[in-house]
Amino acid sequence: MDIRTLEEMPISERKAYALKKVKGLQDKLNASITIIEDDEVKADGKLMGIPVALKDNISTKGIKTTAASDILDNYVPVYDATIVKKLKEAGAIFVSKTSMDELAMGGTNRTANIGPCHNPYDLDRITGGSSGGSAALVAAGAVPLAIGSDTGDSVRKPAAYCGIVGVKPSYGRISRYGIIPYASSLDHVGYFTTNVEDAALALEVLAGRDDLDMTSSYEEVLEYSKLLDANVKGRRLAIFGNVYDAISDSSIKEAFDKIIVSLEDKGAIIKKVYFDGDLMKCLFPTYFIIANAEATANHSNLDGVRFGHRIDGDSMEDVMMATRTRGFSSFIKKRFVIGSYSLFEENQERLLKKAQRVRRLIVEAVLNELKEVDALLAPASGSIAPRLDDPSSDELSDEYLIAENHMVIGNFGGLPSMTLPMGFKDDLPIGINITCNAFKEEEMFDIALAIEDITGLKGHVKEVL
Amino acid sequence: MEISEVKKLAEMLMFKLSDEEAQEIIEEFKTFDRQLALLDKIDTEAVDEMIFPFDVKTSFLRDDEADHILSQDDVLKNVAKTKQGHVVVPKVVR
Amino acid sequence: MEYEIIVGLEIHTELNTKTKMFSGAPYHFKAEANTCTNEVDLAHPGTLPCVNHEAVKKAIELCTALDLSIDPLVRFDRKNYYYSDLPKGYQITQQFHPIGKDGKLQIDDDGIKKIIRIDRIHMEEDTAKQFHLYDETLIDFNRAGVPLVEIVSKPDIRSGKEAALYVEKLRQTLTYLDVSCAKMEEGSMRCDVNISLRPKGSDVFGTKVEIKNLNSIANIKDAIEYEANRQKEILDDGGHIDQETRRFDEKTMTTVTMRKKEGSVDYKFFPEPNIFPILISQEEIDHIVSEMPELPDVKEHRYIEVYGLSTYDASQLIANKELALYFDEMMKSSIDPKAACNILVSELVGQLTKRGEDITSTKVQAKDLARLVELISKGDISSKQGKEVLSVMLDGDDPDKIIEERGLKQLSDTSAIEKLVEEVLDENPTSIEDYKNGKDRALGFLVGQLMKKSKGQANPKMASDMLKDKLAKR
């Protein structure tokens, strides 16, 4: 479902159409935590009457917001996130608060407190995460736009697994005010659409300086959807060699190669680049340390005192202890213990600060390459969506460390990065990732449009039967 | 690392762990240690920590004008126990 | 053994801003519970901090006043701990890059001047207020997020008295700058004391004890004196001092153990990722400094050197900021500073005290009091009449109006007085004789007669001068 097609429908019917789909899919996909039935069109605007789904870590005044965690299972915000205000002003209608990994701290959407979200292409497979519910609803054609958040690749990976467009713009491009955080220095607001044009339009609505988020950018917001240009003649594009080499699945490489050849045919100048291999093996550990360290602090507010699901106790300490013990899954507790371990004074030098220094080296290396080229291209993942019962992968292999985690570079350096469909393997979608220089979203959309023309997958959705 | 140590780490973060959870964390730390070895290989001599995605400096500061206040009702809306406009918790021990 | 007392102070004081350090919620000390907050102060999920410009300005002013070097790149860090009065589970503070470093404050200990060095000043945020009842704790989040500065001295203080002088001087500086109300009784300024003893002549520091949350200058002095004595007795008995945190018990005037230190607490400080470094330009700093109110020391110096006031008078004025500002306002009229100071300190303040008012609540405007001084020194009214006029001014009228209404204006018209002089001399030939024979009292009698004739309105000095003049001619 895309915005253009929906616009042909009378406004009054758009919401009913989406709601019917969202509700109908719930049994199969388990994509919604809260279905919103009574939302109304607020004004006219670029998204007048367009149904939109919001990841459940986005603060919505008067609508339960749980971040898929038991500790917030009764939390009803008293304020709207900045993007919620912007979407309302643009006329959007909210139909779902979508499933996600608990507190956005995962990449599978298996850790949601309501149970896993299912991939529309194969209900036995994951959507990827953490923004899995949003991805599933767009992929299944329920809504043309769904908002997510992306700390490592939490929009771009599920977009790849679900065969849709997933955008994570530059750091500060979209206000984070009102997004329940994971790791503040890596968190971005991102979103899903079924095509590049909608993706460009959505950014016009979502982007812009917000004084409530001191890290939000003053960079001018362009009319991205009007500036779209699929001409890649003379565009300099680099294949991310380390990622390509780390992938063992030849059919994914072939799909990628086909796109590269077509781009070259259209006049793009292609080269392959390699970064220091040892540095690339550090992508995941660097991310893991920084993200979990920031996350333990970010979630220290979840104590049951002012909001959230409080468990009684004999003292204030007992209350906090009982609330947090019940409120977080084992998975989250694990992350917090490791995160706080990196923060201990005696460990910071070897862990957090080391990771922050390596982060700089990685970003500097990539920026150095991006001086020469307009974008870095790579398969978004080395595989199709894993099965729900798949045991976890080997966390020390190159395939895992590099191919499955390379998109975190966009978070390290705040670079705009997006994934779009590049084809199918065994009838399951695979995606291609584009990463550009900071605030070059316009260029990124142009390259994406060229790829979309090549694949012919514009607006592709999966009818779930 | 011992189970008791891991449990103590957790209690400093205000939650308790079961033995199984603590054991899982010990296993996780083993993988973590091997990943750390990858970081140790990188020479970061004279490299500054990267705290933010960009090295930007801002000059924006908020004007000291009251712009947004919650009603007492809204403040207490999500609070489990209240009394006379206050948030109530059992007596603080410390 | 003789010991030297080593004291360092950590003072937290709330900044006088309209809104919080990191949110646009207003703050009023006396507001009803939980009516001065927003979602940021309550750390509702997804909220982000946004730094208050005025708080930064005030911190810069304070650093300037206390001679600290200012770090123009303002950065914040997180201090992590769990407590019910700390909504985020961390406090945003400036651990790694305080806004000011290495300053000083001069105290005056009965004429002996001493420099107390200041290690650092940093900005942070206050916690919520808790009320501990029998079996529950009530929390009011109004105070959560109120801007604070922490002023950390070097261990340069050597007695309870010096500590009291330091805090008093600091309080004065804070109030003159309008940086903080610095009201210890309301908790807007709080003091922690670090104290250790070392044998006289030694340069090694002893084990430090922290006394937390002292809430008055008197308590700071008393606590230090008690604690120094307690430590001395232990050391004299060959014991050793435990590193611990104590509190001062006002009832018994002693310090008691709060908690022993088992190693130091790890607050897991790390840089706040939600606030990019804020660069304050040199122009802005210069501008802030140029707009700073006059500091008490500078003011006092001006009173003595420029106005010629006595040290005593100057210190009387400086002791009360409002009084000094009132005086400055009076001096906008070109009047005699000494006379202005006298009428303000001796007359106005005295009468206000009797009425249960003070300089901030009085209806007497500084320009009107200055006018009164002018009228007296020009001789339009006598100083005795001045007092009478002032007592009426307390209800808000201006002096010219009062004089007019009460017909108090002195007769200063030369020809009118001359006429009266001639009359008095004509009527008292004996007194003329007495005067010529050297009896000075006669002049007084003649002035008295003249005043009577003028119904008290003649300017006595003019009358006296003119009488002398005429007497010489007779």
* Site from C41, C274, C276, C278 to mutate, A interface, most A CB atoms within 10 angstroms: C274
Q: Which residues on neighbouring strands pair with residue C70, listed in sequence order?
A: C100
A96 among known catalytic residues:
no
Say if the Cβ atoms of A360 and B49 lie within 8 Å.
yes
Q: Is the pLDDT of residue A219 over 70?
A: yes
B2: number of Cβ within 10 Å: 9
Q: Closest CB to B66: pick one of C18, C138, C139.
A: C18
C96 near A CB under 8 A: no
Residues of C within 8 A of A71 (CB-CB) are none
A39: number of Cβ within 10 Å: 17
A132 membership: H or E segment, kind and range: helix A132-139
Q: How many CB pairs under 8 A join B and C?
A: 122
Q: What's the confidence (pLDDT) of residue C460?
A: 77
A216 among known catalytic residues:
no
pLDDT, one tens digit per residue, over A297-316 is 999 999 999 999 999 999 99
Alpha-carbon distances of A26 from A21, A70, A138, A144, A193, rounded to whole Å: 9, 20, 13, 17, 19
What percentage of chain A exceeds 70 in pLDDT? 99
**Chain C: nearest CA to B16, how far in angstroms?**
15
Specify whether the backbone of A279 is left (phi greater than 0), alpha (psi in -120 to 50) or beta: alpha
Q: Is the pLDDT of residue A43 over 90?
A: no
Going by pLDDT thresholds of 50, 70 and 90, the confidence category of residue C112 is: very high
For tokens 């009201």, the residue is C183
Residues of B within 8 A of C82 (CB-CB) are 13-14
Alpha-carbon distances of C316 from A415, C107, C173, C368, rounded to whole Å: 63, 17, 16, 21
Q: Where are the alpha helices (DSSP H) in C178-245?
A: 217-236
Whether the Cβ atoms of residue A97 and residue A139 lie closer than 8 Å to each other = no
The closest alpha carbon to C20, from C7, C39, C44, belongs to: C39
| B13: in domain | yes
CB contact residues (below 8 A), chain B span 37-56, against chain A:
38-42, 44, 47-54
| B22: in domain | yes
Name the token pair of C180: 């903080």
Residues of B within 8 A of A321 (CB-CB) are 11, 14-16
Question: What average pLDDT does this structure show over A321-339?
Answer: 97
Residues of A within 8 A of C145 (CB-CB) are none
Question: What average pLDDT does this structure show over A364-385?
Answer: 97
Residues of C within 8 A of A340 (CB-CB) are 268
Q: Closest CB to B91: pick one of C34, C35, C135.
A: C135
**Chain B: nearest CA to C131, how far in angstroms?**
10
| B58: in domain | no
Please tell me which residue in A15, A21, A55, A88 is annotated as part of the active site. A55
For tokens 């860090």, the residue is C77
Please tell me which residue in A69, A130, A170, A329 is annotated as part of the active site. A130
| B68: in domain | no
**Chain C: nearest CA to B21, how far in angstroms?**
22
Say if the Cβ atoms of A301 and C268 lie within 8 Å.
no
**Chain C: nearest CA to B19, how far in angstroms?**
24
| B25: in domain | yes
User: DSSP letter at A399?
Assistant: I
| Cα–Cα distance for residue pair A465/A21, rounded to 1 Å | 11
For tokens 């600091």, the residue is C170
Q: Closest CB to C273: pick one of B51, B56, B85.
A: B51
Say if the Cβ atoms of A300 and C80 lie within 8 Å.
yes
Domain holding B13, by residue range, is 3-40
Say if the Cβ atoms of A78 and C90 lie within 8 Å.
no
Q: For chain B, what is the domain count?
A: 1
| Cα–Cα distance for residue pair A292/C171, rounded to 1 Å | 43
Residue A279's Cα: distance from chain center in Å? 24
User: DSSP letter at A401?
Assistant: I
The residue of chain A with its CA nearest to that of C137 is A316
Q: Where are the alpha helices (DSSP H) in A371-431?
A: 398, 408-412
Q: Which residues on neighbouring strands pair with residue A118, listed in sequence order?
A: A126
Name the token pair of C125: 């945020």
Q: Which chains touch C (3 or more CB pairs under 8 A)?
A: A, B
Say if the Cβ atoms of C87 and A301 lie within 8 Å.
yes
Q: What's the confidence (pLDDT) of residue A416?
A: 98
Whether the Cβ atoms of residue C151 and residue C10 lie closer than 8 Å to each other = yes
* Site from B7, B62, B78, B86 to mutate, A interface, most A CB atoms within 10 angstroms: B78
| Cα–Cα distance for residue pair A421/A433, rounded to 1 Å | 9
Domains along chain A?
3-231 (3.90.1300.10)
| Cα–Cα distance for residue pair C275/A214, rounded to 1 Å | 6
Amino acid at residue number C10: E
| B24: in domain | yes
| Residue C342, φ and ψ in degrees, nearest 5 | -60, -50
Q: Closest CB to A214: pick one of C43, C48, C266.
A: C48
Q: Closest CB to B36: pick one of A74, A171, A285.
A: A285
The residue of chain A with its CA nearest to that of B90 is A315
Q: How many CB pairs under 8 A join A and C?
A: 104
The closest alpha carbon to C43, from A275, A4, B87, A44, belongs to: B87
Say if the Cβ atoms of C269 and A215 lie within 8 Å.
no
| Cα–Cα distance for residue pair A128/A107, rounded to 1 Å | 6
* Site from A283, A290, A357, A370 to mutate, B interface, most B CB atoms within 10 angstroms: A357
A253 membership: H or E segment, kind and range: helix A250-265
| Cα–Cα distance for residue pair A155/A138, rounded to 1 Å | 12
Name the token pair of A38: 């009574």
Question: What average pLDDT does this structure show over A44-68?
Answer: 96
Say if the Cβ atoms of A321 and B16 lie within 8 Å.
yes
Say if the Cβ atoms of C90 and A300 lie within 8 Å.
yes
CB contact residues (below 8 A), chain B span 21-40, against chain C:
none
What percentage of chain A exceeds 90 in pLDDT? 94
Q: What's the confidence (pLDDT) of residue C458?
A: 77
Whether the Cβ atoms of residue C59 and residue C15 lie closer than 8 Å to each other = yes
Q: Which residues on neighbouring strands pair with residue C74, listed in sequence order?
A: C278
What is chain A's mean pLDDT, rounded? 96
Whether the Cβ atoms of residue A187 and residue A176 lie closer than 8 Å to each other = yes
Say if the Cβ atoms of A333 and B9 lie within 8 Å.
no
Q: What's the confidence (pLDDT) of residue C411?
A: 61
pLDDT, one tens digit per residue, over C326-350 is 999 999 998 999 999 999 998 999 9
Q: Is the pLDDT of residue C192 over 70?
A: yes
Q: Is the pLDDT of residue C414 over 80?
A: no
Whether the Cβ atoms of residue A174 and residue A85 lie closer than 8 Å to each other = no
Q: Which residues on neighbouring strands pair with residue C139, listed in sequence order?
A: B87, C130
C352 near A CB under 8 A: no
For tokens 């897991």, the residue is C268
| B7: in domain | yes
Name the token pair of C266: 């790890």
Rounded to 5°, the CA angle A225-A169-A342 comes to 170
A248 among known catalytic residues:
no
Q: Closest CB to A300: pick one of C51, C89, C139.
A: C89
Domains along chain C?
3-282 (no CATH), 294-406 (no CATH), 414-473 (1.10.10.410)
Say if the Cβ atoms of C268 and A213 lie within 8 Å.
no
Q: Closest CB to A215: pick one of C78, C269, C274.
A: C274
Say if the Cβ atoms of A297 and C78 lie within 8 Å.
yes
> How does pLDDT run along chain B (94 residues), one tens digit per residue?
899 999 999 999 999 999 999 999 999 999 999 999 999 999 999 999 999 999 989 999 999 999 999 999 999 999 999 999 999 999 876 5
